[in-house]
Amino acid sequence: MSSLFSARPGRRALVAAVTAGLLLPLAACSGGGSDAGDGGKDGGDAAGGNRSVKMTVLAAASLTDVFKTAGAAYEKAHPGTKITFSFAGSQELVAQVAQGSPADVLVTADTASMDKVKSDTGTPSVIAKNRLVIATVPGNPHKVAALKDLADPKLKVVLAAPEVPAGKYSRKVLDAQKITVKPVSLEPSVRAVLSKVQLGEADAGLVYKSDAQSAAGKVDAVAIPDAQNAVAAYPAAALKQSPNAKDAAAFVAWLSTPEAQKILQDAGFQQP
């Protein structure tokens, strides 16, 4: 190689020209590939075609059925998005958030629960409301017709625990009417109350109207007059710890759209 470049200037010029000719296309390919790759990625994200988003939504137990329907509708309208729901009593969900459990959105069955983790959430918005009803075993054999009937000591009544929103609402309406009820059990969620009645382990229990509607045919529902009832508010908020901040905020906003509101109202919830 030493004699080639030093002894023959003509040959040296030829090799340099050939080498340069080979390197130019390679550099062009490298540069073009990088630009095209970035452009393709950005274009895919902008179109939403290549995005894949997985979100976890912590939701009050009373939203179990309706949110499964709402989640399917949202996923259909947002290809690439997958929502996993975790349902429990609002007090349990708040505890999970406080402990740093990974999630994107929180929806509780009362504003008091949401307020407990306000430092961990964005600004909440109420997406639905609900009211209590008396759930009885099918056929209502004990002829429960009003709240006062729940005081009958022969009646097996089950309520949500005091720390559960449904339990707070239940205690509020019973205390307002000066009705003393001795429940056979206090449950960790309103869905647990519903389950006890469905299984015949209790004669009656206080649940939300939407819960009774979801179990139509398995329980009977006795309406409670508005003047004696309590209104449950459901606030939703994106969690600050969410790795999908924009998507979490988008889902919360979607819950107030006409499409989502129709799903909620069809399930027995009221407009916020």
144 close to 136: Cβ distance less than 8 angstroms: yes
Parallel/antiparallel/unpaired status of strands 105-107 and 53-60: parallel
- Give the integer Cα–Cα distance in Å for 171 and 121: 28
Query: Please, which residues have CB within 8 angstroms of residue 242's CB and are 6 or more apart in sequence?
Result: 55, 103, 104, 105, 248
Q: Is the pLDDT assigned to residue 202 strictly greater than 80? A: yes
For residue 237, what pLDDT is reported? 98
For residue 51, what pLDDT is reported? 76
For residue 181, what pLDDT is reported? 97
Q: Which letter does DSSP use for residue 228 in this model? A: G
What tens digit of pLDDT does each residue of 66-108 get? 999 999 999 999 999 999 999 999 999 999 999 999 999 999 9
Q: Is the pLDDT assigned to residue 49 strictly greater than 60? A: no
Average pLDDT over residues 252-265: 98
